[in-house]
Amino acid sequence: MRSEEYRIRALFVDVRSRRTHACEFSPETSREFLGGRGSGTLLLSGRPTLDPLDEEAPLVFSTGALTGSRIPSSARMVISGFSPLTNTVCSSSVGGRLALAMKRSGVDLVCITGRASQPLVLVIDDAGVSFETSTLPLDAPLSRVFALLGTGGGSVAAVGGAAWKGCRYASIMVDGTFSSGRGGLGAVMASKNVQAVKIRGSGAVRTLNREGEEAARRDIIRLFDASPAIMGGLGLKTFGTAALVDLMASRRMMPTANFRRTYFDQYQTFCAGRIREHTSPKHYACPGCPIACKQKAITEIPEFETLSHFGALNENADLDAIIEANRICNEAGMDTITAASSIACLAEIREERYTGPLLVDMVRRTAESSGDGALLKLGSAELARRLGAPEKSMSVKSLELPAYDPRGAYGMALAYGTSTRGGCHLRAYPISHEILRKPVATDRFSFSGKARIIKISEDLNAVIDSIGACKFAFFGASLEEYAKGFAAVTGLDVDQQDLLAKGDTIYTLERHINCMRGFARDDDMLPSRFYTEAGTPGPGIEVPPIERAAYEEALQRYYRIRGCNPDGTISEKRREEIEACRRR
């Protein structure tokens, strides 16, 4: 196989000048950064200290090498930029048809810079790029925007009203229902005056070794079928991510009342069984995915994080209100986790509760930036700071924690701290082994061995995001099988350890960019609540506060393993190595 076969095809678009420039990454760079999140991180590293909303700050849409292949669950698009919510490097994986459409248009990556003089719809197809002045109202519900734009057999990414009203966690919605949610990249897109990106392509997607691709596909499907979390009768295939509600409650790690408790005694009002009974949802999938975890009834069924945070985190037992809050977020284009957390934070500071219609009203006001919404749209960290109670924001690096209480899973706790985009569960995804027992179970109440596990998992998930795969696939399959697929599709002579080394480069570069943006050790600590307050006990389960000294020791071990100095910055030796990779 010839390694030069694999080259990332990039399209640079300056929306101010309306100039475009197409090029291919060198084989060495393509091999080093893989695609997807890796490519995005590489482009961000070129101007590492720009303000997130600076005209020149890049917004990168990037596919992975597996997109369009027969390797299952690999149609993810990664969108990268600097986060206006956290000021960190930020990338967000999103499903739908966007990645496949881009790949078919002959492009692997689109990097947008500049600021258009008026709102644009950027159209990318086989013929190239066109800039259409938008005639759509900026505050129109996204369902209307998607209906008016149509997909034309392709796919559309768009920002909603929240982005134009300064919501720092505005999302980019894809095909109406898929969300590139975390970190506020929708606000970045709006800052460029780009309302939508419409992509359509008719080209074929190339695989160099069909036989190898088929062998990898078979191995992966066999592992999917063997995984209870994926294809089991109580897993994602049957119940979507709502399947996790019962489990998190039973493990006493369901964040409740802004993380003051870890169990919500009315969780069954929004568990998977209740949703099925209440809405009879239908399943649908991203292209080429047999899992089909997405659910829709009359309206979209919220994902686990959204159910839990608009439910337990806000002590809200009204399923209709949760579904409506989710619908408003999708229509306005807002990250549901940050939206729900910001409301829970405000409720705690004011010693109030926002449930049912009141909760829905708060979400609506956030989308409109009216009343309390003007404060809520800033996210919980800024909101709490302005109200003189910064400790009430349950966030790391200003990104609100999702629905896994760190006191119930210590790997998760450490991963929240070290995540390069802030309090995020997906950078290392230790829930896989700490809760779902894949690939094997680990002791969730121990830091023993977790520093290296988290480091390896971060590298692994950087690879997953860079090759276009879905993280859920790894509840069954492993990089061993996906590496085989990657090698077959690209023709590169690589294996899982080669890919993990690339993941290490990508992750360390992200951390280095954050360090250049002023982040250091103190930003890797959890909110103080987790070191001082116990969670809610259950049958045979105690949820004590995390011992701060144990957390700090694990963090220092992580630094040594990652190649960082004790203050969390990247060591000089490692910086030089990363820089050498970057310059290839």
Partner 1 sequence: MQAQVEKYLAKLIRHRLVACEDDAALYGLDDVIFSNRKSVPAQAARLFDLLNINSLLAARPEPVLWSVITRLTEDSPQLICPRDCESLTFIHDIPVVPSFDPALLARALNRRKGCIVRDTGIVTTGTVSLEQAFISFSSICFSAVVKLFTDTINALCGYGDDAPPDAQRVRDCLEILDHLAPAPVAQLPFRGIPDSEDEIVRAMDAAGKAVVDAGLVDSFFGNISFRKGDVIYISQTGSSLDELPGCIDRVPLDGSTTCGITSSSELMAHMKTYELTGDNVIIHGHPRFSVIMSMFGGPLEFGETRFVEGVPVVAGEVGAGSRGLLHTLPLAMQEHHCAIVSGHGTFASCSGSFDEALARISSIEIMCCHACRSVLEQTKPNRA
Contact residues for partner 1, defined by CB under 8 A: 219, 221-229, 231-235, 239, 242-247, 250, 271-273, 433, 435-442, 448-453, 456-457, 459-460, 480, 483-484, 495-498, 500-501, 504, 557, 560-561
How far is residue 467's CA from residue 482's CA, in Å, rounded to a whole number? Answer: 9
In 450-504, DSSP assigns E strands to none
State CA 530 to chain mean position distance. Answer: 23
Whole-number minimum distance, CB 224 to partner 1, in Å? 7
Whole-number minimum distance, CB 410 to partner 1, in Å? 13
Q: Count CA atoms within 13 Å of residue 327 on its CB side.
A: 15
Per-residue burial over 129-156, b = 16 or more CB atoms within 10 Å of its CB, e = otherwise: beeeebeeebebbbbebbeebebeebbb
CA distances from 355 to 55, 83, 319, 369 (A): 39, 29, 10, 19
Nearer to partner 1, 155 or 536 (CB): 536
Amino acid identity of 530? F
Nearer to partner 1, 60 or 247 (CB): 247
Whole-number minimum distance, CB 451 to partner 1, in Å? 5
Place of tokens 């950027």: 122
How far is residue 376's CA from residue 354's CA, in Å, rounded to a whole number? Answer: 13
Nearer to partner 1, 225 or 547 (CB): 225
Nearer to partner 1, 110 or 307 (CB): 307
Whole-number minimum distance, CB 486 to partner 1, in Å? 12
Whole-number minimum distance, CB 72 to partner 1, in Å? 12
Query: SS3 for 22?
Result: strand
**Would you state the structure tokens that stand for residue 276, as one six-digit string?**
């099925």
Whole-number minimum distance, CB 230 to partner 1, in Å? 9
Nearer to partner 1, 290 or 545 (CB): 290
Whole-number minimum distance, CB 546 to partner 1, in Å? 18
Nearer to partner 1, 21 or 222 (CB): 222
Nearer to partner 1, 59 or 247 (CB): 247
Q: Which residues contact 394 (CB under 8 A, 6 or more apart)?
A: 255, 258, 259, 341, 344, 345, 380, 400, 401, 423, 527, 529
How far is residue 42's CA from residue 387's CA, in Å, rounded to a whole number? Answer: 37
Whole-number minimum distance, CB 408 to partner 1, in Å? 14
**Would you state the structure tokens that stand for residue 105, as one six-digit string?**
């248009």
Whole-number minimum distance, CB 221 to partner 1, in Å? 7
Amino acid identity of 478? S
Nearer to partner 1, 439 or 544 (CB): 439
Nearer to partner 1, 178 or 270 (CB): 270
Burial class (CB in 10 A: 0-12, 13-18, 19+), 49: exposed
Q: N- to C-terminal Cα distance for the chain?
A: 21
Nearer to partner 1, 422 or 503 (CB): 503
The Cα angle at residue 569 between residues 422 and 550, in degrees rounded to 5? 70
CB distance 194 to 185 below 8 Å: no
Place of tokens 């089909």: 292
CB distance 523 to 397 below 8 Å: yes
Nearer to partner 1, 166 or 232 (CB): 232
Whole-number minimum distance, CB 307 to partner 1, in Å? 12
Burial class (CB in 10 A: 0-12, 13-18, 19+), 234: middle
Whole-number minimum distance, CB 577 to partner 1, in Å? 14
Whole-number minimum distance, CB 261 to partner 1, in Å? 19
Nearer to partner 1, 139 or 493 (CB): 493
How far is residue 307's CA from residue 275's CA, in Å, rounded to a whole number? Answer: 10
What are the residue ranges of helices labelled H in 194-267? 210-226, 228-231, 236-239, 244-250
Nearer to partner 1, 443 or 533 (CB): 443
CB distance 134 to 120 below 8 Å: yes
Whole-number minimum distance, CB 270 to partner 1, in Å? 12
